[in-house]
Structure 1
Amino acid sequence: MTRQLNIPMLFLATMLLLLLVENHAGIGVTSNEAPAPSPQSSINGTHFPMYGITEGSLQPQECSPRCAERCSNTQYKKPCLFFCEKCCAKCLCVPPGTYGNKQVCPCYNNWKTKEGGPKCP
């Protein structure tokens, strides 16, 4: 009777061991794979995510926080925010950082005042 019970128990133990080895091998393969890189743009050696800085990539309700970040270092916050939000509403993008980098959003970069100066901060 014990011999009859030992054979099924040995079979179950062998199957569990094989499943354990298979799972462990599967985990090892997936951990060695490199994650897929996210699309990024390089501006002067600095990497910025593309979301929000390419033309048309923002929703209108996302303009205010992006412009608050863009205008955070200026002395003239109210005019900066006013024109940034106006430009963002038209172009649906805000360049990264607090200054420069306008080339990533051509609409934002190329919108000029009547005098020919830049309209967007």
Structure 2
Amino acid sequence: MDPVSILADINGSIAPIAFGLASIGSAIGVGLVVGKTIESVARQPELQGRLSTLMFLGIAFTEALAFIAIAVAFIPFPA
């Protein structure tokens, strides 16, 4: 067997692993963003509105990267 056909056979079983890693990475990223926002609001409560807006933008970008990673995981490998 040549390496290309071996990779084509393996690709079907790697996609769920990539999906799981993308989900874990996204969860860690969102946790860090929310945690730092809570810490910042505790230090300067008068900036809560601005920090909340930035937090939601950060969460949106983090989730967008996870969706891109999930989509890439399911792109078929050219044989």
* TM-score bracket for this pair, using the shorter chain length: 0.3 to 0.5
1 or 2 for the larger relative contact order (CA 8 Å, sep ≥6)?
2
Highest Rg: 1 or 2?
A: 1
Name whichever structure is richer in helix by fraction: 2
TM, length-normalised to structure 2: 0.40
Name whichever structure is richer in strand by fraction: 1
